[in-house]
Structure 1
Amino acid sequence: MKVLYICTHNRCRSILCEAISNTSSGKLQARSAGSQPVGEVHPLSLKYLAQKGYNVEGLKSQSWDEFEDFEPDLVITVCDSAAGESCPLYFSKSLKVHWGLEDPSKLEGSEQDKAEAFYHTIELIEQRVSALTAISEKNLSQEQLKNELLSLGAS
């Protein structure tokens, strides 16, 4: 299953999802993009992904315009502002769902506080990716897939 994770700036949450999806599962082909990418991945995203054993090579902040030919089966928005945006027409055949995730890169506090926030977000993504992988193996129709995703708490 081809999955595109979208977050407005494509520097933290969508990057975490891409790395976890591509490393955790041979069943998902994941990419991430932003509607208004900042052009660089948040350094703590790379740090904590690497500490958890995820491959961070090749991760970059990029525009969803670069994925016109990707043709994802599933587009997942991970921040509320991206969920409210209209996706480009070339994603019209893709199923769209929202996984609301708090942004750990915006947390102010000690290094320990930041690490805990990133690890919590990574753990939540791991759980959702594991469930998504199991669902992707069922060869469901788009409507059945949407219903299964809604049962995960996606909207």
Structure 2
Amino acid sequence: MSGGSYNILFLCQGNSARSIMAEAIMNGEGSNHFHAYSAGSHPRGALHPYTADLLSGLGHDLTVFSSKPMEVYSQQDEIKFDFIFTVCDQTAKESCPVFPGAPMSAHWGVPDPAAATGTEAEIRLAFAETYRMLRNRISIFTSLPFASLDRMSLQRRLDQIGETTMPVSDPA
């Protein structure tokens, strides 16, 4: 792979939490070389309120995010994707449409914070932990030496990033 600028699509089922967080992180951390988008196989139509609170609190501009179906990107020719990452297990099991470009893909599944139960503080902690896990993976990804990796080596690295286990903090 040559160095340069890359388009990345993060896919999730609801496109209300994980994929939106990944889009926000990538566009913040990798803004010089990466442009991220997100979509869902069954989008909820809006950001989860805790996602909105978390991203807003971290300084992200919420006006640039929306929950949308993946067909928005599969049925267009303007954006050619270099990478597609699924961030939930359900979407990884579904058949995805064909996207423009010849994107490399990997599964970077993380727990769904919208499924968290408990007190409000425990649920908000689940959202913060998901953000942290995605940020760690994206930081590893953006640090890869793209110019010196061939396609097979890069695919191995992408898969390894998705297999990275990151301990979740104990709320106690």
SS of 2:146's partner is coil
C-alpha deviations, 1:59-98, integer Å up to 9, x for none?
A: 0001111113322111100111100111212357211110
Residue in 1 that maps onto 2:37: 31
C-alpha deviations, 1:12-59, integer Å up to 9, x for none?
A: 110110011111222211000011212111111110112122332220
SS of 2:132's partner is helix
Distance in 2, Cα, partners of 1:111 & 1:52: 19
Distance in 1, Cα, partners of 2:157 & 2:45: 34
CA RMSD of aligned residues (A): 1.7
Is residue 80–residue 101 contact of structure 2 (8 Å, CA) maintained in 1?
no
C-alpha deviations, 1:82-139, integer Å up to 9, x for none?
A: 001112123572111101110111112212101211111111111111111112x522
1:10 and 2:15 equivalent?
yes
Distance in 2, Cα, partners of 1:80 & 1:153: 11
Distance in 2, Cα, partners of 1:16 & 1:35: 16
| Number of residue pairs aligned between Structure 1 and Structure 2 | 154
Q: CA deviation at 1:143?
A: 1.6
Distance in 1, Cα, partners of 2:62 & 2:163: 26
Gaps of 5+ in 2: 1-5, 165-172
Q: CA deviation at 1:154?
A: 4.3
1:113 and 2:119 equivalent?
no
Residue in 2 that maps onto 1:93: 102
Distance in 1, Cα, partners of 2:29 & 2:46: 23
Residue in 1 that maps onto 2:157: 148
Residue in 1 that maps onto 2:71: 65
Is residue 10–residue 84 contact of structure 2 (8 Å, CA) maintained in 1?
yes
SS of 2:10's partner is strand
Q: Which portions of structure 1, spanning 4 or more consecutive aligned residues, are displaced by more than 3 angstroms? A: none
Gaps of 5+ in 1: none
What TM-score comes out, normalization by structure 2 length? 0.82
1:138 and 2:146 equivalent?
yes
Distance in 2, Cα, partners of 1:73 & 1:105: 28
Percent sequence identity over aligned pairs: 32
Q: Which has the larger radius of gyration?
A: 2
